[in-house]
Amino acid sequence: MNETPVAESTTVKKAPRLRSRLLQVTTWLLAAGCFYLVFGKIQGAAAREGLGAFEYLARFIGDANWLAWLAMMIPYSFFFFFVDSHATWRVVRWFNAPDFKFTRMLPIRASAYILSLLNEQVGKGAITLYLWRRHAVPPWQALSSMVLLGMMEIYQLLIFSAIGTLIYFDLVTAASTALPLAKILTVVFVIAALYLPLHLAFFSGAILPHAQLRERQIFRAFRLAKFRHYLLVLLFKAPNLLAAVVVYTLSLALFNVDVSFGQMLVFLPVIFLAAALPLPFHAGALLLWTVLFPDYPEIGAFSLVMHTFFVVFNAAIGLLFLPTANRELFAET
């Protein structure tokens, strides 16, 4: 009589593991497909010049001005770290720990970059753990602040891309060879613009005032947040994206790729959105680079170089702060 419930329990336990494995296999297959498409474009460009694909890439990488690139990327990485830490610190002070000092955020945010080598969400989980251990912030409430930050990171990319599209619409039209980018971006911008007021109205209780979903701890930051909080987060994080547009434009010039500031303003936020897809090696962004800049198929290699340096150097910054972060995280309260 007891065999059936045990069998059902075993099946229930196996189901999540099976779904997880299927998801992992799917993401790796999609990433492999992206790399295959990019490599095919590189092979075609190399063949037109009578070169092999790897010889073509070696020439592209060898012709870059690496010293000037490093002289720019290292300060940019530190700049990104301080701006990112400041925005995270502000959100934590508003919704979780009002007395939290900025100097204590720096080692925690820096050490989270080490975990971000595996996954950005794991890095934010480290901040959640710290707030729980050192400030007795319930984990779901701390995580709600990280979710709000993540939402505003997406909206920041959409807003800057919309501004760039409005100013440089001719560039979007010119790039719409493989995909109808003008239509796709317009639809995305309209959906995002329509959602935000509904989001604000729902979490303020102006609509569906008795909805229980709003009361969950994971949405606590959304319940507390006013419009000014969303606006301030955008302003706090904006310097990083503006700096990225400048740095990527100048970096491409150092790799002998002729790309304008306008193109970067329009397309870089979209590329960063593609990079947020849960694909290994940011394969979605890698493919999008070659779609947006079809005259430079080797730009995929540039994408890998930029991403790899950025995450590794940020992790190195994390190592500098790791002893302090460990003391903060594991010391007895």
Tens digits of per-residue pLDDT, 8-56?
Answer: 445 545 666 777 777 777 777 777 877 777 777 787 777 887 777 788 7
CA atoms within 13 A on the CB side of 215: 5
pLDDT, tens digit, for every residue of 213-224? 888 989 999 999
User: Cα–Cα–Cα angle for 147, 152, 154, nearest 5°?
Assistant: 100
pLDDT top residue among 36 and 225: 225
Structure tokens at 170: 């001719």
Confidence category of residue 254, pLDDT binned at 50, 70, 90: very high
- Give the pLDDT score at 102: 92
Per the CB < 8 A criterion, the answer to whether 165 and 270 are in contact is no
- Give the pLDDT score at 119: 62
Which value, in Å, is the radius of gyration of the alpha carbons in the chain? 22
Per the CB < 8 A criterion, the answer to whether 198 and 211 are in contact is no
- Give the pLDDT score at 199: 94
- Give the pLDDT score at 118: 65
Per the CB < 8 A criterion, the answer to whether 333 and 134 are in contact is yes
Mean pLDDT of the chain: 83
Per the CB < 8 A criterion, the answer to whether 270 and 75 are in contact is no
Most trustworthy range by pLDDT among 4-18, 237-251, 304-318: 237-251
Confidence category of residue 5, pLDDT binned at 50, 70, 90: low
Cα dihedral 312, 314, 320, 324 in deg (nearest 10): -130
pLDDT, tens digit, for every residue of 153-203? 999 989 988 888 888 877 777 766 666 777 888 888 999 999 999 999 999
* Predicted structure pTM score: 0.84
Q: Examine the pLDDT at 99 and tell me if it is beyond 70.
A: yes
Pairwise CA distance, residues 184 & 188, whole Å: 6
- Give the pLDDT score at 253: 93
Residue 151, classed as helix, strand or coil, is helix
Measured over the CA atoms of residue 51, residue 57, residue 60 and residue 63, the dihedral's sign is negative
**Residue with tokens 């198929």, as numbered in its chain:** 297
pLDDT, tens digit, for every residue of 83-95? 999 999 999 999 9
